[in-house]
């Protein structure tokens, strides 16, 4: 396409005339071009309004902000310190945040007490994670998105390191599926499900900065909290952009900046949300979080302001607060619902314009989700190598203000408070004009990058082919070994039947061999355990009620079991029980972590040196008490069983032969395994 008029263009004036929020555009200063020294070379008419599609990076200045700032400067000049209490405009500095917190709470869908306006985004994330990220030996992992905004990732990584943990182990990153740019909610829920026992916290963006994808915050929060996982959201690109209901969604905490869609100015004051149910959470404290009535008594006895206010540290910047106030007064003239409705229409209209010409697919694609419920006021355009800078410069010269993010994305944000369909028409006409060859300058570094990428692709494909061949051979080996195990089990069972029949024919008795394997379950005992039994339970790795392990029966282990009989139930498991336990509740000890056995490669990576390549090899080694039983048993993390179906017997603490549950059950242990597995 070479410019021209869109067939949709004729609708723009009509759509703008029906816009119920069009009057709010007059509340903002619109930049005029030429914007920069470079764009002064353009032939466009000087002093004409620019087309501003960059509200996701920095919102425009409300016209009321300047007057508010001057008022505070006058109070400072005229009254000095007395401005803290005697303010002519009823904004005493002592609680300057009060004038912005209530409207902010409406925008994020929270109670007034659940919101505090303070600090900056990354600092606030650190303070919130110091309060909510409390890793334990078991639950210590943090789930994030793979392409998190760098500052968020640095904050999470440093928090993990601060707790003495390894980020490569403690941070779980969620990536889009191959060939996709955005993350499917089902994949997020699956990662949570797979790591629920080890995950302490989830921190995701409400709207992703690069793609513009809006996550299903309510659904993700509900699912994660059902697994006792702390849920936090970075709302930098969501607040003032999409509808939020943080209180109703039961979000634990959230943080945001205010200089994007909230238009508070560069480096504007940020905000936090803490759900009222978590308001007593331990935290790093400061004097501005102290109860206001006794704050100046200087007693060094911290009494927190109820709610999010108790998480404040120092008094907020008055100038930053009134800059936010200038924008919130515009928000107060409408509702976030009405803003969102216009945003959906405006962004959808611009998407239509950008997709109206099939030729546009030759040099960029829109990677933001097409479903309006999965995005805010942003469209991310991914350009082919080498042309993004040329397009960006062409837009800048034409007075269209957008921003770019490496690699190769131009972000277009039709912020609804001051954007119009007319702007969408003009910007789209320039965006869909293919840059000329003279405009596209390919640096040598990019050429090298392409060549390197091609080489890496070839190497990756070659390695993939080799892995496929090796994988096929490995599967054949595993299958043949599994067949051999089945034959061995069948032959052993037939031999047992033959010996029993032979003994019967000789009018004799068949005495089975002494069992070599026991399955031991700890069913009681927490307090007042003598040192020796306690030590044995520790040696057997039976640290909790309903823990269970496989034990090789020897003279030594039999004596140990006899000593701890009042606390355990044990017996000889059959093949079915061993297989069901390992398949259903089997976890391996890999790098000192409890990892579910979902893949044979996990077993092979640890036990390959002992000839154990698959889960069937592991079952065989355990059931037959093979030569590498010790290594196989130690690889298995102690089982965590459920309470038995129907409960224990009424005389649980008696020996099994006395009608209780403790002690040796012999083969009847399999019935208890069925009840607890």
Over residues 623-633, mean pLDDT: 92
Residue 550 labelled as part of a binding site: no
The model's pLDDT over 560-571, given as tens digits with 9 standing for 90+, comes to 999 999 999 999
**Could you tell me if 151 and 251 lie in one domain?**
yes
**Could you tell me if 420 and 471 lie in one domain?**
no
Residue 259 labelled as part of a binding site: yes
Over residues 100-119, mean pLDDT: 97
Q: How confident is the model at residue 650 (pLDDT cuts 50, 70, 90)?
A: low
Q: What is the pLDDT of residue 40?
A: 47
User: Does residue 41 surpass a pLDDT of 50?
Assistant: no
- By three-state DSSP, how is residue 599 classified? coil
Decide if 29 is inside a domain: yes
Q: What count of other Cβ atoms lies within 10 Å of the Cβ of residue 650?
A: 9
Residue 287 labelled as part of a binding site: yes
Residue 150 labelled as part of a binding site: yes
Q: What are phi and psi of 177, to 5 degrees?
A: -65, 155
**Could you tell me if 345 and 318 lie in one domain?**
no
The model's pLDDT over 138-186, given as tens digits with 9 standing for 90+, comes to 999 999 999 999 999 999 999 999 999 999 999 999 999 999 999 999 9
**Could you tell me if 526 and 672 lie in one domain?**
yes
Residue 315 labelled as part of a binding site: yes
Question: 333, 356, 390 — which closes off a domain?
Answer: 333
Q: What is the pLDDT of residue 439?
A: 54
Decide if 439 is inside a domain: no
User: Does residue 443 surpass a pLDDT of 70?
Assistant: no
Q: What is the pLDDT of residue 290?
A: 94
170-196 burial by CB neighbour count: b if 16+ within 10 A, else e?
bbbebebeeeebbbeeeebeebbeebb
CATH number at residue 322: 3.40.640.10
Decide if 274 is inside a domain: no
Decide if 443 is inside a domain: no
The model's pLDDT over 350-363, given as tens digits with 9 standing for 90+, comes to 998 888 766 555 67
**Could you tell me if 669 and 545 lie in one domain?**
yes
Over residues 285-307, mean pLDDT: 91
Instruction: Name 231's bridge partners.
Output: 202
User: Does residue 336 surpass a pLDDT of 90?
Assistant: yes
45 and 247 in contact (C-beta within 8 Å)?
Answer: no
Of 4-18, 214-228, 474-488, least confident by mean pLDDT is 4-18
Of 214-223, 309-318, 379-388, 534-543, least confident by mean pLDDT is 379-388
**Could you tell me if 531 and 625 lie in one domain?**
yes
**Could you tell me if 423 and 352 lie in one domain?**
yes
Residue 133 labelled as part of a binding site: no
| Paired sense of beta strands 48-49 and 253-256, if any | unpaired
Q: How confident is the model at residue 7 (pLDDT cuts 50, 70, 90)?
A: very low
Of 61-70, 317-326, 443-452, 510-519, least confident by mean pLDDT is 443-452
Decide if 447 is inside a domain: no
Decide if 70 is inside a domain: yes
Question: 298, 333, 368 — which closes off a domain?
Answer: 333
Over residues 96-108, mean pLDDT: 96
Question: 377, 402, 431 — which closes off a domain?
Answer: 431
If you average pLDDT over every residue of the chain, what do you get?
A: 89
Query: For residue 513, what are the contacts with CB-CB under 8 A and spacing of at least 6?
Result: none
Over residues 55-78, mean pLDDT: 97
- Give dist(CA 434, CA 3) in Å, integer: 9
Q: Which of 246, 298, 306 is closest to 272 using CA atoms?
A: 246
Q: What is the pLDDT of residue 9?
A: 55
Q: How confident is the model at residue 1 (pLDDT cuts 50, 70, 90)?
A: very low
Q: What is the pLDDT of residue 2?
A: 36
Decide if 512 is inside a domain: no
**Could you tell me if 366 and 323 lie in one domain?**
no
Over residues 192-215, mean pLDDT: 97
**Could you tell me if 534 and 658 lie in one domain?**
yes
User: Does residue 573 surpass a pLDDT of 60?
Assistant: yes
Taking the whole predicted model, whether its pTM rises above 0.85 is answered as no
Over residues 90-111, mean pLDDT: 95
Residue 371 labelled as part of a binding site: no
- Give dist(CA 333, CA 455) in Å, integer: 57
Q: What is the pLDDT of residue 444?
A: 64
Q: How confident is the model at residue 393 (pLDDT cuts 50, 70, 90)?
A: confident
Number of domains in the chain: 5
Instruction: Name 207's bridge partners.
Output: 214
Q: What is the pLDDT of residue 474?
A: 84
Instruction: Name 230's bridge partners.
Output: 201
Q: What are phi and psi of 203, to 5 degrees?
A: -135, 110
119 and 271 in contact (C-beta within 8 Å)?
Answer: no
553 and 570 in contact (C-beta within 8 Å)?
Answer: no
Query: For residue 48, what are the contacts with CB-CB under 8 A and spacing of at least 6?
Result: 32, 33, 399
Over residues 596-607, mean pLDDT: 89
Q: Which of 383, 372, 381, 382 is closest to 416 using CA atoms?
A: 372
CATH number at residue 631: 3.30.1390.20
Q: What is the pLDDT of residue 81?
A: 96
Q: What count of other Cβ atoms lies within 10 Å of the Cβ of residue 119?
A: 24
Residue 146 labelled as part of a binding site: no
Q: Which of 57, 114, 59, 552 is closest to 309 using CA atoms?
A: 114
CATH number at residue 30: 3.90.1150.10
User: Does residue 500 surpass a pLDDT of 90?
Assistant: no
Q: What is the pLDDT of residue 440?
A: 55
- Give dist(CA 410, CA 365) in Å, integer: 11
Of 72-86, 120-134, 269-283, 293-307, least confident by mean pLDDT is 293-307
Q: What is the pLDDT of residue 3?
A: 39
**Could you tell me if 364 and 311 lie in one domain?**
no
Query: For residue 270, what are the contacts with CB-CB under 8 A and spacing of at least 6?
Result: 117, 118, 119, 120, 121, 123, 124, 255, 256, 257, 258
Q: Which of 596, 593, 601, 571 is closest to 583 using CA atoms?
A: 596
Q: What is the pLDDT of residue 561?
A: 93
**Could you tell me if 560 and 665 lie in one domain?**
yes
| Range(s) of the domain holding residue 81 | 62-114+285-333
Residue 234 labelled as part of a binding site: yes
Residue 151 labelled as part of a binding site: yes
- Give dist(CA 91, CA 329) in Å, integer: 14
Decide if 265 is inside a domain: no
Q: How confident is the model at residue 435 (pLDDT cuts 50, 70, 90)?
A: low
User: Does residue 612 surpass a pLDDT of 80?
Assistant: yes
- Give dist(CA 471, CA 320) in Å, integer: 60
**Could you tell me if 662 and 525 lie in one domain?**
yes
């Amino acid at each position: 396409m070479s410019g021209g008029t869109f067939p949709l263009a004729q609708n723009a004036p009509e759509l703008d005339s029906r816009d119920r929020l069009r009057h709010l555009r007059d509340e903002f200063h619109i930049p005029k071009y030429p914007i920069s020294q470079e764009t002064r070379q353009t032939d466009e008419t000087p002093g004409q309004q620019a087309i501003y599609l960059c509200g996701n990076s920095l919102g425009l200045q409300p016209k009321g902000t300047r007057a508010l700032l001057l008022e505070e400067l006058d109070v400072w000049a005229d009254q000095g310190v007395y401005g803290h209490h005697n303010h002519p405009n009823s904004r005493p500095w002592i609680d300057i945040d009060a004038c912005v917190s209530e409207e902010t709470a409406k925008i994020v869908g929270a109670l007034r007490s659940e919101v505090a306006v303070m600090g900056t985004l990354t600092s606030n994330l650190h303070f919130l994670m110091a309060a909510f990220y409390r890793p334990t030996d078991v639950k210590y992992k943090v789930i994030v998105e793979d392409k998190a905004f760098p500052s968020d990732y640095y904050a999470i990584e440093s928090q993990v390191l601060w707790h003495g943990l390894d980020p490569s182990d403690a941070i779980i990153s969620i990536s889009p599926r191959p060939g996709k740019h955005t993350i499917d909610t089902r994949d997020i829920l699956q990662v949570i499900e797979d790591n629920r026992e080890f995950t302490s916290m989830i921190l995701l963006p409400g709207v992703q900065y690069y793609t513009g994808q809006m996550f299903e915050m309510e659904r993700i929060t509900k699912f994660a909290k059902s697994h006792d996982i702390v849920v936090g959201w970075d709302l930098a690109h969501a607040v003032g952009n999409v509808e939020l209901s943080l209180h109703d969604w039961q979000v634990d905490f959230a943080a945001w900046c205010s200089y994007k869609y909230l238009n508070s100015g560069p480096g504007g004051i940020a905000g936090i949300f803490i759900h009222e149910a978590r308001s007593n959470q331990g935290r790093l404290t400061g004097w501005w979080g102290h109860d206001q009535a006794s704050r100046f008594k200087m007693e060094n006895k911290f009494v927190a302001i109820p709610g999010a206010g108790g998480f404040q540290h120092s008094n907020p910047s008055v100038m930053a607060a009134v800059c936010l106030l200038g924008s919130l007064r515009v928000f107060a003239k409408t509702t976030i619902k009405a803003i969102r409705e216009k945003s959906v229409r405006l962004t959808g209209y611009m998407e239509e314009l950008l997709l109206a010409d099939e030729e546009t697919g030759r040099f960029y694609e829109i990677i933001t989700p097409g479903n309006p419920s999965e995005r805010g006021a942003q469209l991310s355009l991914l350009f082919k190598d080498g042309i993004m800078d040329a397009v960006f410069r062409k837009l800048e010269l034409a007075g269209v203000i957008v921003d770019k993010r490496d690699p190769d994305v131009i972000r277009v944000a039709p912020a609804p408070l001051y954007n119009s369909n007319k702007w969408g028409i003009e910007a789209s006409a320039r965006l869909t004009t293919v840059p000329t060859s003279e405009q596209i300058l390919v640096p040598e570094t990019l050429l090298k990058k392409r060549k390197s990428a091609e080489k890496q692709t070839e190497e990756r494909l070659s390695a993939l082919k080799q892995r496929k061949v090796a994988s096929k051979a490995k599967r054949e080996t595993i299958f043949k070994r599994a067949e051999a195990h089945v034959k061995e089990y069948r032959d052993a069972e037939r031999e047992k039947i033959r010996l029993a029949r032979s003994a019967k024919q000789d009018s004799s008795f068949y005495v089975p061999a002494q069992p070599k394997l026991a399955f031991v379950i700890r069913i009681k005992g927490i307090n007042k355990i003598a040192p020796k039994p306690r030590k044995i339970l520790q040696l057997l790795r039976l640290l909790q009620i309903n823990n269970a392990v496989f034990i090789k029966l020897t003279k030594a282990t039999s004596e140990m079991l006899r000593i701890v009989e009042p606390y355990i139930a044990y017996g000889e498991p059959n093949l079915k029980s061993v297989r069901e336990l390992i398949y259903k509740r089997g976890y391996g000890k890999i790098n000192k972590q409890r990892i579910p056995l979902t893949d044979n490669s996990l077993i092979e990576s640890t036990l390959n040196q002992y000839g154990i390549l698959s889960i069937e090899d592991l079952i065989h080694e355990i059931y037959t008490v093979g030569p590498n039983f010790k290594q196989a048993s130690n690889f298995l993390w102690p089982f965590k069983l459920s309470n038995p179906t129907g409960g224990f017997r009424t005389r649980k603490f008696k020996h099994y032969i006395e009608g209780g549950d403790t002690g040796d059950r012999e083969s009847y242990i399999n019935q208890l395994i069925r009840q607890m597995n």
